[in-house]
Structure 1
Amino acid sequence: MHICTTGIDIMKGISWDDYKVAYQVAIDGTLSQAGKTLEMNHATVLRHVNRLENALEIKLFIRHQRGYQLTDAGSVLMDELPDLIAQFSRLENRLHNVEGQISGELRITTLSSFSAQLTPILKEFRDSYPLIRIKVLSTDDIVPLESGAAHVSLRAGPKPNGPDLIVRELTKLATSYYAAQSYIDSFGTPKSIEELNKHLWVLPTSDKYRIPFIRHIVDNIDKDKIIFQSNHFPDVNQAVIAGMGIGPLGDSQAIMNTSLIKVPINLPITQESMWFVYHRDLKHSARVKCFYEFFTKQLS
């Protein structure tokens, strides 16, 4: 009796990492960008893709000078893998939860502007739980937790909503305008709304103008008074600290820098908070529970 082993032989050479790397190449479009995302070199990314295609005996990508384009088979990969990645993430979480041990990887997504304040807390958390490995994704975009890319999201703004999300308020956020002492020594501070236009401003780019405390300033100054802009809040913060002009900082962040002086500007009241968000599949996760308790204690 002959048993066909072709399918078994093909699958033998494929690892789950091969699929994940190929999926990242499909998302990023080039080997080099996928390598940056995955923190591996160009040759390693190519080796994973070639190994997967050779094992499947199917071309997933068409190579162009501009990047990697999906074949029809590659499009199937893009359709099917997100669900598989999410299922593997849920499986990993459930296996960790069975042990109840505070160990393994804890993936956290947070605002770029908050990551510097988060790092000292994470250091103390690691000191208390040395079996934990931490991975932080700093971005102003909302990372969908159902994808498994992160276990915990630290979000700012209105309360997040979603049928599968567990949301807990951490703290109220307060943002003010600050200037370095060196700037104040040279230019002073505005004493009224009419004087705002006499000063130099450090602000986020126009995609952030919808934020009330940014909009308030933009509406009351000439655009040529904005002498520095960035789509990345930490860049804005550093420009203020360097004395380039007046700009927004979170009060909790500004208090860490003694060279900064709060500028008396009456801003519109905004109800914003920092939220601790995780997927309901992780409601029994020892890592998430422990991190929440530790984090709230540090904030208080």
Structure 2
Amino acid sequence: MQKLNWDDFKVAHTVAKAGSLAKAATILKCNHTTVLRHINRLEDALNVNLFIRHQRGYQLTDAGQIMSETLEDLNTQFIALEDTLQSIQQDFSGKIRITTVTSYSPLLVPAMQQFRKQYPKVRIELLATDEVIPPQSGNIHVSLRAGPEPKEPDLIAKHVISLKMSYFASKEYMSEYGLPQSEGEFNRFHWLMPDSSKHHIPFINQVIKHLKNDSIVYTSNQFSDIQSAVISGMGIGPLSENDAIKYPNLVRLDGCPLLCTENVGALWYTYHKDLKQNAKIRALYEYLVEHTQHLSMV
């Protein structure tokens, strides 16, 4: 058997995830021929076909599937090793990988800007997604999570800010349609609500169960979209207190208890306990608290 080359495995793993040589070459910043050479060399050394070539791209064989799954686990272990070694060094360089939901990512910018001014050798990688990526996975360092305090084993959770939301409408909408004073009047109005992925939130659920389908004129999986629609005067919808205060044309609905302000939890700065001595992670938390202590958002 020929001597195996670790670079060949890394290239093969990239092709497996990308699905084609061209996409893999773009990710690896090399040309198509170089990627193909790595694949051919690895398959020759193993005497195993890892890919089925066809016009639509590269499809994994059974052997290729095993390779890809194993390399994914190895990649996670290498990331964890990198984190551990950097934690021991305790200097302010390298990178911090953070994930949070899309609605919260703008909140982080002022804190990150000041953090980078103080520690210019640190690179921040932010992943804004509605998918929960736990720090235990090893793929990220910090997860900013909203709701009740996370209780997973081996996870450290620190409070950043309390979260509050209310229902709002624009002054223009109120002038034309008025505002509901009880749940019995809800279906006389136009509602802008999150889609079913957010119906588990009590403050959303307690209202939406009183609404008929034709009263809900707009839905989105993002609170930022709901906010824009409310500001435009399309109807009534839930907004964070922090966001709503920026727009003087918005009116908070206080006439019905179901629509009044509610504390819906908090924003939590979470990371794996193995990183509790990491100087960068501790420092970034202090910057976040300092720059968000006056805020209250959903």
TM above 0.5: yes
Per-residue CA deviations over 1:94-115 (Å, capped at 9, x if unaligned) read 2322332222211111112111
Per-residue CA deviations over 1:218-265 (Å, capped at 9, x if unaligned) read 111211111111122222222222222111111122223333221224
**2:149, 2:34 → 1: CA distance?**
41
Equivalent in the alignment of 1:276: 269
- Say if 1:202 and 1:229, in contact at 8 Å, map to a contact too: yes
**Greater relative contact order (Cα 8 A, min sep 6): structure 1 or 2?**
2
More divergent stretch after superposition (117-126 vs 279-288): 117-126
Q: Which runs of 5+ in 2 are unaligned?
A: 294-298
Equivalent in the alignment of 1:53: 39
Q: CA RMSD in A?
A: 3.0
Once the two structures are TM-superposed, the CA of residue 163 in structure 1 deviates from its matched residue by 1.8
Equivalent in the alignment of 2:203: 213
Change (3 A) 1:286 1:223: same
Per-residue CA deviations over 1:29-66 (Å, capped at 9, x if unaligned) read x459x96xx99569969668635422311443334567
Change (3 A) 1:45 1:189: farther
**2:288, 2:163 → 1: CA distance?**
16
Show the 5 A alignment for 1:135-214: 135-214=125-204
**1:284, 1:220 → 2: CA distance?**
49
- Say if 1:205 and 1:230, in contact at 8 Å, map to a contact too: yes
**1:166, 1:45 → 2: CA distance?**
43
Q: 1:267 aligns with which of 258, 262, 270?
A: 258
Which TM-score applies when normalising by structure 1?
0.83
Q: 2:290 aligns with which of 285, 288, 297?
A: 297
**2:31, 2:251 → 1: CA distance?**
48
User: 1:164 is aligned with what amino acid?
Assistant: D
Q: Which runs of 5+ in 1 are unaligned?
A: none
**1:252, 1:107 → 2: CA distance?**
26
Q: 2:5 aligns with which of 6, 11, 14?
A: 11
User: 1:134 is aligned with what amino acid?
Assistant: I
**1:39, 1:287 → 2: CA distance?**
33
- Say if 1:100 and 1:285, in contact at 8 Å, map to a contact too: yes
- Say if 2:190 and 2:215, in contact at 8 Å, map to a contact too: yes
More divergent stretch after superposition (286-295 vs 227-236): 227-236
Secondary structure class of the residue paired with 1:96: helix
Equivalent in the alignment of 2:296: none
User: 2:291 is aligned with what amino acid?
Assistant: Q
Secondary structure class of the residue paired with 1:244: coil
Aligned-residue identity in percent: 39
Pairing 1:86–2:80 present: no
Equivalent in the alignment of 1:128: 118
Q: Report how many aligned residue pairs link the two structures.
A: 286
Q: Which contiguous aligned blocks of 4+ residues in structure 1 show a shift greater than 6 angstroms?
A: 45-48
Equivalent in the alignment of 2:243: 253
Which TM-score applies when normalising by structure 2?
0.83
**1:232, 1:79 → 2: CA distance?**
32
- Say if 1:89 and 1:148, in contact at 8 Å, map to a contact too: yes
User: 1:56 is aligned with what amino acid?
Assistant: L
